[in-house]
Structure 1
Amino acid sequence: MQVDVAYLADSRAMPEIHDDSIDLVVTSPPYWDIKDYGHPNQIGYRQSLHDYLHDLNRVFLECARVLKKGRYICVNIGDRFLRTDNKRKLRNQVIPLHAEIINMFNAMEFDYIGAILWQKINNKNTSGGGSIMGSYPYPVNGVLETNYEYIMVFRKPGYSEKNISEHIKEASKLTLEEWKEYFNTIWNVPPERQDSHIAMFPLEIPRRLIKMYSYVGDIVLDPFAGSGTTLLAAKTIGRHYIGYEINPEYISLIKSKVSDLFSEVNIIERTQPVQMKEYHTSYQPNVSNEKFGKF
C-alpha cells in the first residue's frame, strides 16, 4: 500500500487502501447543493438531499473499513441554511447535516466522542446563510447567523495497538498550552481565503486534529482532499498521508501546496473503473427529501 500519495479517483471506492490500515481520518465533505466542484460525478451539487447523504455514507463506510480499530475519524461540516417556499410564503430553515452524520456513524456502531464548534471569524456564510437576514430591525423573524461549523469526532470500536515506542510518544507530545486550547470545544479560527479552491478550510484545523489523534509516523487519510490542506498538515508534522480527489483541476493545487524542495507529492490517476463494495447499512436519513426538494 502506497503512502504520501494523492489519488485522482472517487473515494466512494478506495480499493488502493488495505482494511484496518489507516490511523486517522480527517476530512471536510462537500456542501449540499451550494458549490459546484466541477465534476459530473461530484457529491453534493444538484443532487437530492437523500442522494447526497447516501453518497456521504458510502464514503464513510469505506473510511470505516480502512480505519484501524480504536482509532478516530474527524468530520468537519456545517448545517445547511435553506430558504424554502411554502404556499407562496418563504420560510428560513436549517438542515441539521451534522446530526445526519452522527446517525451514519451510529449505524456503524462507532463511538461518538463529541463535537468541536469551529467559530468562523470573519465568516462569509459558506453554508448558505446571510449575515443580516430576516425581519431586521423588527422581531420576531430574525435569522441566526451561520458563523460556525461542527467538527465531530468518532472512534472505531475495538482496541488500538499498545506497542507505541517511547521515542514516538515523546515526539508526538502536545504542550500544556496546546492541550488546553485543542481540547476546548470552541475553536476560534479564521477561515481560509477562497481563491484557488472554492471551499478550503484553514491549515490550522487539520493540524490540530492530527496532533490530537495520531502519532508521528501514522497514516492520515482525507477522502475529500480538495486542495490538499489535510495532506500538507500531515506532512508538516511528521505523518504520512493518503488523499482522494475526484476533480483533476485540483491536482495542480495539491502539487503546489504539498510538494517542496525535498519531496514531491505522488499523484496517481485511477484509470480503470472499479466496482463499488456492497455495504449493508441500517442508516436511513431522518430529514425529509420531499420537504427540501429534489432535482
Structure 2
Amino acid sequence: MNKNNYIKIKIKKKNFKQESSENILSEINKYFDENELFLKKNNDNDILIYLNSFDINKFESFFNEKPEYFQVIKQKINKNKSYGIDNGKKIYIDYNKERKVKNRKKKETARGKYYYAKDNNFKKQNNKLTEEKINQIVCADSLEYLKTIPDNSIDLIFTSPPYNFGLDYEATDDSIKWQQYLDQLFAIFDECIRVLKYGGRFAVNIQPLFSDYIPLHHIVGKYFIDKKMIWKTEILWEKNNYNCKYTAWGSWKSPSSPYFKYTWEFVEVYCKGDIKKTGKKENIDITADEFKEWVYSKWSIAPERNMKEYDHPAMFPEELARRILKLFSYQEDIILDPFGGVGTVAAVAKKENRKYISIDISEEYTKKARERVKKVPKQLKLNLE
C-alpha cells in the first residue's frame, strides 16, 4: 500500500466501544475495495480511515443499511470537503491535478512576484528602541509622537483607525470629509512605515462604508502598494452579527439600487521590504493547531462585547489581536498601535509576552488603557521547542 495514494482521517477510540470498532473495520474493509477506502487501527486503537475514491451511491447504500454506531465513520468522511466528483465518484487524490503548476518557482520568477515593490528605497538596517519608549501607553497626537520614534525600530503594527462613520469617539471627529480623513490617516501611516523594521509587518483592520460607497479597504490597499509595501494577505473577519440593524434598504425588491448588508471586516497585512521576518526560534509561540487554523484567512470571531464597559464605540476583540500578534510576530517583539483606544493591542501584547507602544489622543481612553494593561499579569516566556 502506498500511503501517498490516500488521505488519512483519524477517529479517536473514545468514539467507539471495542466490539463495535472491530465490527466496523471488518464490515467496511470487506465491502469496499482497498483502492477505494479502507480502515485500520493505530497503536492507540484509534481508527484510521484511508480514502482514495469511491462510488457515491455505493457509499450511501452501505451506510444506510448499517446501525447507528457506523454513522460516525460516514459523518467523519463527509466532513472532509477536499474532493472532486467524476462519473458519480468522490475522488480524494489528484482530483485537481490538471490545475497543478509545473515549475512553479521558475514561473513565479518570470512573472515578477510583488513587482510593484521591487524598486523601494527602504533601509535594511534595523535600529533598537530605547527602553523609555517601550511598554508605554501614550496620550498624544499620534502623528507628532511617531516622529520621536527612530526609523526601523518596530516589529509589527496592528491598528484599527477611526472609521469616519460618524461614531461617537471621545476626542475624534468621526465624520469629516473623506479626502481630509484620508490625508490625515496616510500622514500617520507614512510615519508608521518609517518606524517599521525592514521585514516588519503592518496589519490594518478596516471596514468599507457601504452607505457612502467608499471601498476603504481598496483605497488603503492602493496607498500601501504606492508606498512599495508588499501585500502579504487579506483576512476576512466574519463577525456573525446578523442581528445588526439596517435602516437604508435602497430599493426594495428592485434592481434599482439594492443596499447590501455585511457582517464582516477586513484585516489587510503588508510587509516592509521582505515577506520574511527574522526572529529567534525560541521566541515562536504559535502552536501547530493555531497555525493550521489561522492561515485560512476567514476568521469567525464574535465582536467585542465590553464596549459599554470601556465607553468606546468601536473596539475589536482581543482574540483578533491575539491571532495577528502570534501569526506575524515573535515573543519580545515590539508592537505598535497608533490608534490605541482603550488598549486592546497593548493588553494582548503583554499577555502574549510582546512589548508595546499604544498611542491615543484621548485622555479618557488612555487612562482606561493604562488601568486595563496594569491588570494584566507579567507573562512567562513560552518555549514550544
Aligned to 1:103: 222
> How far apart are residue 142 of structure 1 and its match?
3.5
Matches within 5 A, 1:1-295: 1=130, 2-13=133-144, 14-39=146-171, 42=172, 45-82=174-211, 94-122=213-241, 130=246, 133-136=249-252, 138-140=253-255, 141-158=257-274, 162=278, 164-168=279-283, 172-193=284-305, 194-195=307-308, 196-260=311-375
Whether the aligned pair in 1 keeps the contact of 2:158 and 2:202 (CA below 8 Å) is yes
The verdict on how the C-alpha distance between 1:261 and 1:78 changes in structure 2, with shifts beyond 3 A counting, is closer
- Count of residue correspondences: 242
Q: Which moved more, 1:151-160 or 1:99-108?
A: 151-160
Richer in helix (by share): 2
TM-score, length-scaled by structure 1: 0.76
Higher relative contact order (Cα pairs below 8 Å, separated by 6+ residues): 1
Between the aligned partners of 1:124 and 1:242, the Cα distance in structure 2 is 35
Q: Which runs of 5+ in 2 are unaligned?
A: 1-129, 379-385
The verdict on how the C-alpha distance between 1:52 and 1:124 changes in structure 2, with shifts beyond 3 A counting, is farther
Task: Note the alpha carbon deviations across 1:98-153, whole angstroms, 9 max, x for none.
Answer: 1111111112100111211111122575xxx82782344x2434421121111000
Give the root-mean-square deviation of aligned CA atoms. Answer: 2.1
The verdict on how the C-alpha distance between 1:16 and 1:175 changes in structure 2, with shifts beyond 3 A counting, is same
Aligned to 1:266: none
Between the aligned partners of 1:261 and 1:134, the Cα distance in structure 2 is 46
Whether the aligned pair in 1 keeps the contact of 2:202 and 2:269 (CA below 8 Å) is yes
Task: Note the alpha carbon deviations across 1:85-106, whole angstroms, 9 max, x for none.
Answer: xxxxxxxx52100111111111
Q: Identity percentage over the alignment?
A: 34
The letter for the 2-side match of 1:157 is: G
* Larger Rg over CA atoms: 2
Between the aligned partners of 1:149 and 1:161, the Cα distance in structure 2 is 26
Task: Note the alpha carbon deviations across 1:187-224, whole angstroms, 9 max, x for none.
Answer: 11110123121111100111100000111100000000
The letter for the 2-side match of 1:29 is: P
Task: Note the alpha carbon deviations across 1:146-172, whole angstroms, 9 max, x for none.
Answer: 21111000000158774x43432xxx2
- Partner secondary structure for residue 76 of structure 1: strand
The letter for the 2-side match of 1:19 is: D
Between the aligned partners of 1:165 and 1:143, the Cα distance in structure 2 is 49
Between the aligned partners of 1:64 and 1:210, the Cα distance in structure 2 is 18
